[in-house]
Structure 1
Amino acid sequence: MMKIDHESEIICWQLAQMVETALLEEVSLTPKPGLVDCRSNGAHEDMNHALFVRSAQTLTPYFFEMAQAAWKQPVDQALRITIAQIGREAEKAMYKATNQVNTHKGAIWALGLTISVAASQICQTMQLDVTTLFAEIARLTAYSDTSYGEKVATHGQNVQQKFGVSGAYGEALAGYPHVQLALKEAEKHQAETKEQRYLHMLLTIIGSLDDTCILYRSDEQTLKAVQALAKEANQTRLPNTAFNQLNAFCTRQHVSPGGSADLLAVTIFVQDLKDWLA
């Protein structure tokens, strides 16, 4: 990894801390359908709010490493391999901190790509062009992780094959279209509280994402029911009847839109980046 100067190091650490903040704000957003929050474990028996906090704080040094690795580096094959290696170390640290519970594997992937491309862009002008950010994320994703030898299929990959959905890789390869939708949704709710705005952002993602976390635990019919309730809940001020029905449905069906939660964290991070650099 290239040695960077102290000032650049400080900025990389600020970026990593912003990722941590995004993860903490996502898990602390209360209430959420099927997801861990401050008052409920959602559809999860092996997770709680404190576990997510510990996991997020454990990951911060690894996001710092990714930002450092991308600083003044082009978005290319070498960067893809480097951040993938750091990401695997982050996963090991996460599992150790959580006693083998998968709290943030999807977030490591999504936010790892995002912080790396953001650092590569910000180091040049201390500005962020969001359109370029998503295009470069798509480009970085397209490079193969040639250093990875293990080929055991993940839950997400199994779901992708079974249901024909794009999954976490396809979402990144497309430049995070659901994050872009959530950013647009945020603009409609500027007059509302941050919590209200975040919930609308989350519902926008849930309403249109083929969430592999839901499909892994259920089926297409259940996914469509969750999407329909999320869309309905997003039409008026929260909480509303459809939102309460969505929460109850996720609990009853034991499903959790974990992929949507990861993308909400990415959206919060990108929004915070925009505000920071404005």
Structure 2
Amino acid sequence: MSALARPLSATTAVPRTRPLGRLAIAALHAELACSPKPGLVTPFSRGSHQDMDASTFLRSLFALRGYFSALAAQATASGDFAPLRTLGVQAERAMLAATGNVNTHRGAIFSLGLLVASAARLRAATAAKPSAEAVCHGVRQWRDALLQAPLDAASPGQRARARHAVPGVREQAAAGFPLLRGVAVPALRVALAEGLPRNAALLQTLMQLVAVTDDLNLLHRGGAEGLAFAQAQARGFLDAGGVHAGDAHAHMARICHAFEQRRLSPGGSADLLACALFLLQQEAT
């Protein structure tokens, strides 16, 4: 049994870091539960994926249930990047073992993991709940280590990154997640403040992310043409009123069908959506 197949939070995390771990898992579960979503797995659809469904994601979340708490505990004890990276590598192995080598949460292990670690560091230093923006900025403490860390050149995302010469999530993290600070967090704040149900608020935020993100998953699956198509569909949905429009459900159904026909899946945007929800929830917990 791998280290992360056991509940690490019971042995590794100190009590004050456990809520961050629970919030991280809850945010990933909320992203999965959000439906409909174009090209993405939901409890009711495989989206554009033939190798995974909601049960695959749930097995992955169960395998990762101790990772984020352990990460928060480690970040509280030390600001060194190396042990955080080691935990991330272990988490990825646990995920792949649980899913039969299907990548469900590699991006979230990286991005959400860094945000959990940053939030834990800030809480330890200030004994206060940091803002979402402060948590994002806090990730920049590992900027040099992030930019120097080895990449898996064989991964689909890295192949797309190299082929299309666009920055990836590593560059986003090193810059303090500008897409989270400038797009996802403000959009989700506004949507929730408007009183939208959480599902609708998440969908509205997701489409704002898809509209502007150079999503490596979209580039991998559809190339530059697929990315442009996805962004145009998201902009069209938002320009028509987004989730506020009277025909929003029918409009989204058409977009979902179009994404599935083209096998497009904005997985990078989905990861950022979960990160944004975590950031807002940790402000209040």
Q: Deviations over 1:121-155 (max 9, x none)?
A: 01231320333322221331432587x77864422
2:220 to 188, 201, 216: 216
Q: Does the 8 A contact of 1:230 with 1:243 survive in 2?
A: no
Q: Which residue of 2 aligns with 1:254?
A: 263
Aligned residue pairs total 265
Q: Does the 8 A contact of 1:69 with 1:82 survive in 2?
A: yes
Instruction: Assess, with a 3 A threshold, how the Cα gap between structure 1 residues 151 and 196 changes in structure 2: closer, same or farther.
Output: closer
TM-score (norm 1): 0.89
Q: Which residue of 1 aligns with 2:202?
A: 198
Instruction: Assess, with a 3 A threshold, how the Cα gap between structure 1 residues 165 and 31 changes in structure 2: closer, same or farther.
Output: same
Q: Which residue of 2 aligns with 1:243?
A: 252
Q: Does the 8 A contact of 2:136 with 2:177 survive in 1?
A: yes
Unaligned runs of 5+ in 2: 1-10
Q: Does the 8 A contact of 2:218 with 2:227 survive in 1?
A: yes
Q: Which residue of 2 aligns with 1:41?
A: 46
Deviates more, 1:206-215 or 1:49-58: 49-58
C-alpha displacement at 1:60, in angstroms?
1.9
Deviates more, 1:226-235 or 1:45-54: 226-235
Q: Does the 8 A contact of 2:129 with 2:284 survive in 1?
A: no
Kindly indicate whether residue 24 of structure 2 is the aligned counterpart of residue 19 of structure 1.
yes
Q: Which residue of 1 aligns with 2:124?
A: 123
TM-score (norm 2): 0.87
Q: Which residue of 2 aligns with 1:94?
A: 95
Q: Which residue of 2 aligns with 1:133?
A: 135
C-alpha displacement at 1:270, in angstroms?
0.4
Kindly indicate whether residue 156 of structure 2 is the aligned counterpart of residue 155 of structure 1.
yes
C-alpha displacement at 1:241, in angstroms?
5.1
SS across alignment from 2:65: helix
Letter of the 1:243 partner, please give it: M
C-alpha distance in 1 between matches for 2:23 and 2:152: 32
Q: Deviations over 1:171-208 (max 9, x none)?
A: 21222122221111123222211111111111111110
Question: RMSD across aligned C-alpha pairs, in angstroms?
Answer: 2.0
Deviates more, 1:47-56 or 1:174-183: 174-183
C-alpha distance in 2 between matches for 1:102 and 1:171: 20
C-alpha displacement at 1:40, in angstroms?
0.2
C-alpha distance in 1 between matches for 2:39 and 2:81: 33
Deviates more, 1:89-98 or 1:184-193: 184-193
C-alpha distance in 2 between matches for 1:228 and 1:87: 34
Q: Which runs of 4+ in 1 moved over 3 A?
A: 148-153
SS across alignment from 1:71: helix
C-alpha displacement at 1:30, in angstroms?
0.7
C-alpha distance in 2 between matches for 1:203 and 1:38: 19
C-alpha distance in 2 between matches for 1:71 and 1:153: 33
C-alpha distance in 2 between matches for 1:139 and 1:187: 26
